[in-house]
Amino acid sequence: MNEPLLRVEGLKKYFPIRSGLFSRVSGQVKAVDDVSFVVNEGETLGIVGESGCGKSTTGRMLMRLLDPTEGKMQFNGKDMMKLSDSEMRAARRDIQMVFQDPYASLNPRHTVERILMEPLNVHNIGKPEDRKKKVYDLLEIVGLSAYHAKRYPHQFSGGQRQRIGIARALMTNPKLIIADEPVSALDVSIQAQVLNLMQDLQEELNLTYIFIAHDLGVVRHISDRVAVMYLGQMVELTDSETLYDKPLHPYTQALLSAVPVPDPEFEREQVVISGDVPSPANPPSGCRFHTRCPFRMDICDKVVPKFAEVQSGHSVACHLYEESRPQ
């Protein structure tokens, strides 16, 4: 079997909490706490969870916009933690990001042509005349036109701006695109268009996606496999169909209870959770979900459940499945 494009092991990001006159470190926010997964070439891995679960921090660490506190990241056969500055710059060509708010991520004073040209200038890719052609080609590919090149971001609708954000991410011919809530800021009617565009581009350009979102409905549309995160940890990971048809973790079941089902014959058991997500600065002991879990047992607040496979390709972190794990 081929080596995955990306392998992440034991990834952690702790942010220090400073207080007092001398800004002493008085604690840590465990934004991402021991997360491991792989992403295979050509697939889409969805990462979902409520706000503050660590999904965006994970994405930013993969881009090395944030330095991990601990963990290993191997991309395209290379250990990303050991790359020199120049090797890291080269790796950044291969990993690009699409952000949630295209307006905030596009410089309002630059024309679209200049915005799209920038990654080529930064990475010194191609001759100046070829760069211009690439801008025009990519505008067409993402469903815009060459005449849009001379316009400014404010002259576009939200959906068009996200197409520009996608075009910018594609300028360096990346292998992996990390899309952080790419459609959450868009009208529902536009969301499907942008998702369809991303799927078409994936097929045409053999792209690999990590698709981060809080909405399980959106993630299902595009993902081959889905990882669910809660309070900085992964609680379930499996293929998209299994996750939606037979979710195992009570948190996933609760998230799915809130997603409308189009098939009236299909009845999903409703799992309702109460309360807010606890603070990642002081996460609950044992299973971090135990303060909200309707199936909580005695062991749950004492022992951290292992994140491990219960069936081939289906991993879950929950004591309910301890006995069904393969020995």
Residue 250 is a binding residue for ligand SF4 (CB under 6 A)? yes
Nearer to ligand SF4, 148 or 249 (CB): 249
Q: Which is nearer to ligand SF4, 107 or 282 (CB)?
A: 282
User: Is position 319 an interface residue for ligand SF4 (rule: CB under 6 A)?
Assistant: yes
- Inter-residue contact 222 to 210 (CB < 8 Å): no
Q: Name the nearest CA neighbour of 170 among 199, 142, 145.
A: 142
Give the span between the Cα atoms of 222 and 275, in whole angstroms.
30
| Under rule CB under 6 A, residue 296 binds ligand SF4 | yes
Token code pair at residue 79: 């250990």
Residue 88: CB minimum distance to ligand SF4, A = 38
* Interatomic CA distance for residues 34 and 23, integer angstroms: 27
What is the pattern of x (binds ligand SF4, CB under 6 A) and - over residues 199-238?
A: ----------------------------------------
Q: Which of 15, 136, 152, 295 binds ligand SF4 (CB under 6 A)?
A: 295
| 165: enclosing H helix or E strand | helix 158-170
110 CB-contact burial (10 Å; exposed 0-12 / middle 13-18 / buried 19+): middle
Tokens 């996606």 correspond to what residue?
A: 209
- With binding defined as CB under 6 A, does residue 318 bind ligand SF4? yes
Instruction: Say if residues 16 and 28 touch (Cβ distance below 8 Å).
Output: yes
Q: What does the alpha-carbon distance between residue 58 and residue 73 come to, in Å, rounded to a whole number?
A: 11
Amino acid letter for position 247: P
Rule CB under 6 A: say whether 93 interacts with ligand SF4.
no
Cβ distance 191 to 169 under 8 Å? no
**Which of 120, 166, 300, 310 is in the footprint of ligand SF4 by CB under 6 A?**
300
Query: What token pair was written down for 264?
Result: 């009236």
**Min CB(247)–ligand SF4 separation in Å:** 12
Whichever of 172 and 233 has its CB closer to ligand SF4, that residue is 233
Please name the residue ranges forming H helices in 171-303: 188-205, 216-222, 240-245, 250-257
Exactly one of 287, 307, 314, 315 binds ligand SF4 (CB under 6 A); that residue is 287
Segment interacting with ligand SF4, rule: CB under 6 A, options 66-74, 139-147, 161-169, 312-320: 312-320
Tell me whether residue 75 or residue 289 sits nearer to ligand SF4 (CB atom).
289
Task: Give the interface size with ligand SF4 as a residue count (CB under 6 A).
Answer: 14
What does the buried/exposed string (b/e) look like for 216-229 if buried means 16 or more CB atoms within 10 Å of the residue's CB? bebbbbbbbbbbbb
Binding ligand SF4 by CB under 6 A: which of 289, 307, 314, 315? 289
Q: Judged by CB under 6 A, which stretch of 40-48, 140-148, 181-189, 283-291 contacts ligand SF4?
A: 283-291
Binding site for ligand SF4 (CB under 6 A): 249-250, 287, 289-290, 293, 295-297, 300, 305, 318-320
